[in-house]
Amino acid sequence: MFPEKPRYINTGGKLLDLEIPKVMGILNITPDSFYKGSRYNTEEDILRAATRMLEDGADILDIGGFSSRPGAKDITAEEESIRVLKAIKLISRNFPEAIISVDTFRADIAREAVVGCGAHLINDISGGDADSKMFLTVEKLNVPYILMHMKGDPRTMQNKPVYDDVVADILKWFGERIFKLQNAGLKDIIIDPGFGFGKTMDHNFDLLRRLGDFSITGLPVIVGISRKSMVWKTLNISVDEALNGTTALNAIALFNGADILRVHDVKEAVQTVKLLQKIRNSVTNR
């Protein structure tokens, strides 16, 4: 038997109940994220997007200032900090009840986002590999930490990634880091297999098919496949046309054990969760 996943994560004193899967809306404070519909660069755009996502049912807003698309241009910590911290302060001030995640691999930015700006979670695409201070920072802050797997970095990750077994290799990678974080006393860890981050198309679909294997960790799983190339390249369409395919794969992810969906299109993801819950309740009450 796999260990039971925790039902709740503590987000700044607010308990987030994972009995029903949650939806995280993506707010990219960047000029070059792979999906242009997720880029927000003025205060008006940021507030408009946050308002829409919260009204559509987003449980978490994930705010990032560094584009992690394959081949993305590197930016300085100062530039990322200016982008992301200003946005977090703006949203925190206008929506004090919103649960905010900071999407960064830099420990200093993560700390300031939590301590100085009101963020509640840290979402680290590098799983602690990009900044040696990140684990210590997370341990001291003791906030929920999204531990994502990435092979390489955004500039090199899609250069013919190879695995012996993609699920087994990633589970081993997770195991080493989860052990270290839990031994240091971190209570809330969420794991992200990192779809599209150092994985081929076949790797991505194998991960989705075998997503339930990650239950062995006993930790909540977040899935981010929204409008990614595994959708639009498979269907031979554009990223702008990838909503329907994203919704289909999100439904599969939920059936295979996803606890959180990270998405560009909140309303459709929330509807998908509601339909899944209807199916689950019909079985329970039969």
CA 53 to chain centre: 16
Cβ-contact 215, 170 below 8 angstroms: no
Give the position of tokens 């294997």. 213
User: What mean pLDDT comes out for the span 259-284?
Assistant: 93
- Domains annotated for the chain, with CATH where assigned, are 20-284 (3.20.20.20)
Phi, psi dihedral angles at 10 (to 5 degrees): -95, 110
In this structure, how many other beta carbons lie within 10 angstroms of the beta carbon of residue 97?
7
pTM over 0.85: yes
Dist. CA 197–CA 148, nearest whole Å: 9
Question: Which of 266, 274, 277 lies closest to 56, judged by CA?
Answer: 266
Active-site positions?
228, 262
3-class state of residue 276 by DSSP? helix
50-106: per-residue pLDDT in tens? 999 999 999 999 999 887 766 667 789 999 999 999 999 999 999 999 999 999 999
pLDDT at 33 over 90: no
Q: Please compute the mean of the pLDDT values over residues 20-46 and round it to a whole number.
A: 79
